[in-house]
Amino acid sequence: MAQGLRRCGLRVIALAVAALLMLAGGEMTAAGEEKPDPRSEIGGLQSKFVDVNGVQARYYEAGAGEPMVMIHGGFTAGSSTANVFSRNIEGLAKRFHVFAVDRLASGMSGNPLKDDDYTYQGDVDFIYGFIQTLNLGPVHLVGHSAGGAIALYLAIEHPEAAKTLTILAMGPENPSPAPENKTRLDLSKCPDQSQYEGLQCRVAMLAWLPTTFDEEYWNADKFMATLPKSKEARAKLNAGAGRSFDFPAFKQKMLEKVREEGALQMPVLLVAGKNDVLDWGLNDEKAKLRGEMGLFEIIAAKNTKVQMIVITNGGHFMYREHPDEFNAYLTTFIDTWEKYPAAPAQGNFPKPPTNSSAPPRREIQPQTQPGVIPGRPQIGRQGM
């Protein structure tokens, strides 16, 4: 009887401690596992958690087709999470097995175990670990902005893990514009970018349509960004965590692998918003998409499976502003390359002589007829 009373007393104490943790803004854990909190979820989505090398990863899962992993952008522990894909997941799940995951220290995912992992390499390792932990095999990688950089670097370092690669919007992976080409992103009216309010202001300014974000989105975003673990992550970043990582040198090395060595040979899709102010020069009358076009040229130097789509009347979050259109483009792109896996010929068009107006001639003849696009009827062909 005494033992039973002791067990009962311990159970009451445990419940009391759990209640205090919840009141303090913490999350109840059992055996180190997070439990979903509806305050972090939007669009009818329900969170799942999985341990990735000692760090809990929050993700959404829907569908039952080929696996697709979606990686959000934004600064670490900032104003961006897997919630940003809430308008796309249901539609894409009709064709794919969709996984949208919070990056390291972002949303409801845990913080890195080491300060040295507050880097792009740390994020790449985390997403790759997520793919391995769930045994997803080759996946369709989709990354937005900074998440596009993570997807790109992951595909370079682990090509066997990426069946296709899709990069959305201007991001740190794009060639940097000239210093004098300031963008239209004016943060002068935003709070300090080292604080959540400043990061939220930046995200709001990158939206093009007034419907890009709603109250449900911002409420969940603020809840996650003000959790103790999120504040801890921003404090570490502000104190210098991860600064020993030489990102410019890392980025240059990765882009050289693509341009010189042809490290990317899977189908690659670039999607740009025509009105993305992050890549719209302050003095340009129209957006010229310099960053996206620069990355396109780098990938296309060795890969003929690269394509680019520009969505009009769309900003940095064009996939969220036009979800049905974006989902259709992405699905068609993937389906096309599954039906026609052979790459187009790698043509070589030298510049014409300066004393001649004749058009350049191919040094290497294509293996297929010029102008034949996989999956598209050709004008003039019999039966077309």
| Strand, coil or helix: 332 | helix
How far is the C-alpha of 105 from the C-alpha of 143, rounded, in Å? 17
- pLDDT over 90 (residue 119): yes
The CA distance from 358 to 188, in Å, is 52
Q: Which amino acid is at 26?
A: G
Q: How confident is the model at residue 370 (pLDDT cuts 50, 70, 90)?
A: very low
Supply the pLDDT for residue 344: 80
CB 268 within 8 A of CB 307: yes
User: Looking at the DSSP assignment, which residues form a beta bridge with residue 100?
Assistant: 60, 70
Which residues form the domain of 48?
A: 34-339
Per-residue pLDDT tens over the stretch 249-264: 999 999 999 999 999 9
Q: What is the average pLDDT across 243-252?
A: 94
Average pLDDT value for residue range 30-59? 87
Is residue 103 very low, low, confident or very high in pLDDT (cuts 50, 70, 90)? very high
Strand partners, 98: 62, 68
Q: How far is CA 254 from CA 155, 257, 298, 316, in A?
A: 10, 5, 11, 24
**Residue 280 placed within a domain:** yes
d(CA 154, CA 149): 8
| Token couple for 39 | 């305050």
Say if residues 35 and 237 touch (Cβ distance below 8 Å).
Answer: no
Q: Is residue 219 part of a domain?
A: yes
User: How do residues 318-357 score in pLDDT, each as one tens digit?
Assistant: 999 999 999 999 999 999 999 988 878 776 555 555 565 6
d(CA 57, CA 34): 9
Does residue 2 belong to any structural domain of this protein? no
DSSP 8-state assignment for residue 281: B
d(CA 94, CA 330): 13
Per-residue pLDDT, 147 = 97
Calpha distance 19→218 (Å, rounded):
26
- Does pLDDT of 15 surpass 90? no
Does a structural domain hold residue 375?
A: no
Domain contains 114? yes
pLDDT at 379: 42
Q: Are 152 and 79 in contact (CB under 8 A)?
A: no
Q: What is the pLDDT of residues 143-168, one digit of tens each?
A: 999 999 999 999 999 999 999 999 99
* Lowest mean pLDDT segment, chosen from 17-26, 129-138, 196-205, 332-341: 17-26
pTM above 0.85, yes or no: no
State how many domains the chain has: 1
Neighbours of 104 (CB within 10 A): 27
Whether residue 97 is predicted with pLDDT greater than 80 in this model: the reply is yes
d(CA 100, CA 84): 9
Mean pLDDT of the chain: 85
Q: Residue length, the chain? A: 384
Closest CA to 45 of 106, 109, 126, 100: 100
Task: Determine which helix (DSSP H) or strand (DSSP E) holds 16, and give its type and residue range.
Answer: helix 2-23
> Does residue 256 belong to any structural domain of this protein?
yes
Q: Is the pLDDT of residue 305 over 60?
A: yes
pLDDT, tens digit, for every residue of 269-289?
A: 999 999 999 888 888 888 889
Kindly tell me if the per-residue pLDDT of 364 is higher than 70: no
Residue 365 forms part of a structural domain: no
Query: Is the CB of residue 69 less than 8 Å from the CB of residue 142?
Result: yes
Q: Identify the H or E element spanning 273.
A: strand 268-273
- How far is Cα 297 from Cα 15, in angstroms, rounded to an integer? 59
Is 323 inside any structural domain? yes
Residue 19 has pLDDT above 80, yes or no: no
Q: Determine the straight-line distance between the first and last CA of the chain, rounded to whole angstroms.
A: 87
d(CA 199, CA 217): 15
Q: Has residue 24 got a pLDDT over 60?
A: no
CA 89 to chain centre: 14
CATH number at residue 318: 3.40.50.1820
Token reading at 271: 């999607």
Instruction: Name the CA dihedral angle for 74, 184, 321, 170, rounded to a multiple of 10 degrees.
Output: -50
Burial grade of 114 (CB within 10 A; 0-12, 13-18, 19 or more): exposed
